Amino acid sequence: MRKKFILDSENDVTCEALFKRRRDIIKGIISAPFVLSTNFSNAENKHLIFQKDIKYSTNEQTNTIKQITSYNNFYELGSGKRDPMINANSLKTDNWKLTVDGLVEKPQTFDLDELIKKFTLEERIYRLRCVEAWSMVIPWIGFELNKLIKLVKPLSSAKYISFQSILDRENLPGQRREILQWPYREGLRIDEANNPLTILSVGLYGKVLPNQNGSPIRLVVPWKYGFKSIKSIVKISLVSEEPETSWNLETPNEYGFYSNVNPYVNHPRWSQKRERRIGEFRKRDTEMFNGYSEFVSSLYKGMDLKKFF
Ligand code: MTE
């Protein structure tokens, strides 16, 4: 995130199958569950079975798989935008386990494949707005985080959720340097975590998540800046106090706990008024809560969002 913004020079190539599928969504023709077959490289060739979501998905043009997998922030795999793609194979995802613990009645460690079978997977087409003032539209596959929270039976003292990414200094090139305090950490207030927009994603464009996008399981919180959407999660803990988060620990005056997309609160180094959709030339206006106000503004009633940035 410290690097200067680099203009993306790729063509905005769009897959025909997706155009057709988007038309079907608009017409309201839904065939679910179904499997989408799209040809792309660099992602594991494993299809997922999922249903399309209409309520929370945007109708905007999705970014291409090439754009989504070659312009990333994933500091464990390097701090350049292309590093996560180049070093993708350094992330080892076999036999992945996800532990959910803390202030809960039933702490559990899940085998990832079992976890995926437990919930109906949905496709959610979300905007992702990064703090460096670029954005993408991505067809995520996942399930609502609130379903997992319910499973472990939270105690009433659980007010926040803390997330932790993989720690593997031996294999992950970025973790051999102290660019951040490892492992990467993030947090949400429990009502934010329970909001139906908040998903755990296990795939995109119909297939399992490419490593550079946070395989095998990552968070997606579409009304917050991209860095809240923590990748390659190994642990989720329910806690009573606001948890520490990686970027807030690093530079507290630049990265707050809430980090809601807000065109009226600038980052010290970037204006947040406008954004560049990757693949487009002309900038667009940034919308409050990244355009998701109708679903989330009530979470922040009465809060001074300049203070709680
Ligand atoms: N998660 C981990 N573990 N490590 C990271 O460096 N970067 C964050 C977030 N999640 C990051 C992470 C940032 S800054 C952004 S913008 C998004 O991932 C980017 O997600 P994408 O590469 O899938 O678009």
Q: What is the pLDDT of residues 106-137, one digit of tens each?
A: 999 999 999 999 999 999 999 999 999 999 99
Ligand 1 pocket test, pick from 74, 211, 249, 272 with the greatest ligand atom count within 8 Å of Cβ, gives 74
The whole-angstrom distance between residue 56's C-alpha and the CA centroid of its chain comes to 15
pLDDT score of 289 more than 50? yes
Q: What is the pLDDT of residue 140?
A: 98
pLDDT score of 32 more than 90? no
Looking at residue 117, the DSSP 8-state letter turns out to be H
pLDDT score of 44 more than 50? yes
Q: What is the pLDDT of residue 45?
A: 75
219 CA distance to ligand 1 middle (Å): 10
Q: What is the pLDDT of residue 115?
A: 95
Say whether 119 sits in a helix, a strand or coil: coil
pLDDT score of 208 more than 70? yes
Give the mean model confidence (pLDDT) for residues 21-26: 44
76 pocket-lining for ligand 1 (C-beta < 6 Å): yes
74 pocket-lining for ligand 1 (C-beta < 6 Å): yes
**Would you say the pTM of this structure is higher than 0.85?**
yes
Q: CA angle 275-232-291, nearest 5°?
A: 30
Give the mean model confidence (pLDDT) for residues 68-72: 98
Q: What is the pLDDT of residue 24?
A: 45
- The dihedrals phi and psi of 129, each to the nearest 5 degrees, come to -110, 120
Report the amino acid identity of residue 35: V
Q: What is the pLDDT of residue 12?
A: 36
Contact (Cβ atoms closer than 8 angstroms) between residue 109 and residue 266? no
Note the CATH number of domain 16-300: 3.90.420.10
List the one residue out of 215, 81, 101 whose CA is nearest residue 153: 101
Q: What is the pLDDT of residue 66?
A: 98
Q: CA angle 46-49-55, nearest 5°?
A: 130
What is d(CA 260, CA 292) in angstroms, rounded to the nearest whole number? 10
Q: What is the pLDDT of residue 14?
A: 39
Tokens encoding 64: 């291409």
231 pocket-lining for ligand 1 (C-beta < 6 Å): yes
128 pocket-lining for ligand 1 (C-beta < 6 Å): yes
- CA-nearest residue for atom 24, ligand 1, is 72
232 pocket-lining for ligand 1 (C-beta < 6 Å): yes
229 pocket-lining for ligand 1 (C-beta < 6 Å): yes
Residue with the two structure tokens 């940034």: 286
Domain extents in the chain: 16-300
Share of the chain above pLDDT 70, in %: 86
